[in-house]
Amino acid sequence: MLNIYFIGIGGIGMSAIARYYNAKGYKVSGYDKTPSPLTHALESEGIDVHYTDDISYIPTDVENTLVVYTPAIPKDMGELVYVQEHGYRVIKRSRMLGEIAQGQRCMAVAGTHGKTTTSTLVSHLFTASGEGCSAFLGGISKNYDSNLLIHENNVIVVEADEFDRSFLQLFPEVAVITSMDADHLDIYGDEAHIRQAFKDFAAQVSGTVIVKKGLDITAADTNARIVTYAYGDDTADFYAKPTEHGHFDLHYPGGVIEDCVVGIPGWVNVENGVAASAIALTYGIAPEKIREALASFGGVKRRFDMQVKHDDLVYIDDYAHHPNEISAAISSTRERYPDFRYTAIFQPHLYTRTRDFAPEFAAALSKVDRLVLLDIYPAREEPIPGVTSEIIFNDAEAPYKVLLRKEELLGWIEEQELEGKELFMTLGAGDIDRLVGPVAEILTEKNNRR
């Protein structure tokens, strides 16, 4: 039996591939730095996971062991160095996903933000309509409580990740590009190079590229058919025309799907719904089934994830970690709760991203009433001298702002008096997710007491 050994198995993309091969009957095991709900779920599915950098856990049968690693792992990590020096076949996660997708009808969603919710929506449209698909997602679908779906047909939905140019391992039949903002400048160097990478990705699409209206993808970049999508812009090929109470009519080249609603709130999710519907309509899923599936979409954990919802208290958790994502999340929430006092709690992710976009972060976070800024979550990076959360904090113009260590947040929440209608939102891609449950508990208790 082939062993597949994952270095960084607890990552959202890695764990989906590990689950896939475990379901196919391979012997799957792996390492991750820290235990998490996701690694516990893998263990409950029969996958061996360990949390120390220790070569004794690596299968000794070199000829029958494939090692998969994520580029988020440091290059000098002991297990990674060992397998590279001892004759194992070692490949990146992106290459593995590319091999799985090869020969299948690949529906891919790319973009510097919006891709997780949109790809999860696509997989739900295919599944709920009865068409079915396999799916490798960058978040946990609330409808299916997993980041992996497996189906016997040859349709595969994938989140096409631009980090480390991973998406260039994919050759989709249909692809959405949601955004091409400057990000991962530690990888790309500048905005021009990241834009070129998206153009290179578009060039690998064989059928249709569905592009957010206004993005610079042209016929010079790809032989695929190019169509556009938008929220509220009737010059796009696919667009939502808002009606009332979050409902909209979905216009597409073949007609109109009237009175649609996406099962999770916010205009940004309507826009994601249009992009996902464009893939489904291009594939040939019936409009009526799309309307039904959009309404039953439960969302993605940590994507505009409603934790507490009362008449006078709302708490939402969101993975947003780029200035444009944060701006969209705040705008979308403001629109829905215009008369609530808005408290945003943000944990910056990566020293390089904080350094590169500090003014943009400050501007986006200035649109709330109260700002709580936590220390930077370093992920794979070493500290950079002079780069701390303070460089965002100093320029942020929220009426109230405070700089806290992560360990101080729950105490700060305990101290707050709820005054009328209150909206709290946690934002960030680091380990702020470990605080979501406790924050929800404290806020619920405080609301029950008032």
What confidence tens digit (pLDDT) does each residue in 164-222 have?
889 999 999 999 999 998 776 677 778 889 999 999 999 999 999 999 999 999 999 99
Same domain for 80 and 118, yes or no, is: no
Indicate whether 135 pLDDT > 70: yes
Amino acid at 1: M
Confidence at 38, pLDDT banded by 50, 70, 90: very high
pLDDT at 245 over 90: no
Nearest to 222 by CA among 234, 212, 207, 233: 207
CB 413 within 8 A of CB 276: no
pLDDT of 185 reads 66
pLDDT at 265 over 90: no
Give the residue-averaged pLDDT of 402-428: 97
DSSP 416: P
The pLDDT of 282-289, averaged and rounded, is 98
The reported pLDDT for the residue numbered 262 is: 97
**Any bridge partners for residue 229, and if so which?**
212, 238
Q: How many domains in the chain?
A: 3
Is residue 365 one of the residues assigned to a domain? yes
Rounded Cα–Cα distance for residues 49 and 35 (Å): 9
Tell me, yes or no, whether 319 and 383 share the same domain: yes
pTM of the model: 0.85
> Is 24 a residue whose pLDDT tops 90?
yes
Q: Which of the listed residues 272, 295, 318 is the one where a domain comes to its end?
A: 295
300 located within any domain: no
Percentage of the chain beyond pLDDT 70 is: 99
Residue 236: pLDDT band with limits 50, 70, 90: very high
For position 216, what pLDDT does the model report?
95
User: Are both 375 and 287 inside the same structural domain?
Assistant: no
Out of 73, 93, 113, a domain closes at 93
Kindly state the helix (H) or strand (E) to which residue 370 belongs, with its residue range: strand 370-374
Using the Cα atoms of residue 284, residue 139, residue 84 and residue 162 in order, give the sign of their dihedral: positive
Domain span at residue 361? Answer: 305-449
Residue 80 has pLDDT above 70, yes or no: yes
31 plus 150 within the same structural domain: no
**Tokens at residue 126, please?**
């295919």
Q: Which residue has the higher pLDDT, 413 or 328?
A: 413
Residue 72: pLDDT band (50, 70, 90) is confident
Residue 380 has pLDDT above 90, yes or no: no
Shared domain for 289 and 157, answered yes or no, is yes
Collapsing DSSP to helix, strand or coil, 367 comes out as coil
**With pLDDT > 90 as the criterion, what percentage of the chain qualifies?**
88
| Mean pLDDT estimate for the chain | 95
Instruction: Locate 3 and state its tokens.
Output: 């062993």
Tokens of 243: 């009606």
* Final residue belonging to a domain, choices 68, 93, 118: 93
Same domain, 56 and 128: no
Dihedral sign computed on CA atoms, order 240, 241, 246, 250: negative
For residue 21, is it within any domain? yes
SS3 338: coil
Angle, CA of 230, 234 and 236, to the nearest 5°: 50
Residue 391: predicted pLDDT:
97
The CA distance from 140 to 143, in Å, is 9
- Residue 275 counted as domain residue: yes
Helix ranges (H only) for 189-283 are 191-203, 267-283
Q: What one-character-per-residue DSSP string does 135-199 give? A: EEEEEEETTTTEEEE--SSSEEEEEE--GGGGGGG---SEEEE----S--HHHHSSHHHHHHHHH
pLDDT at position 376 = 97
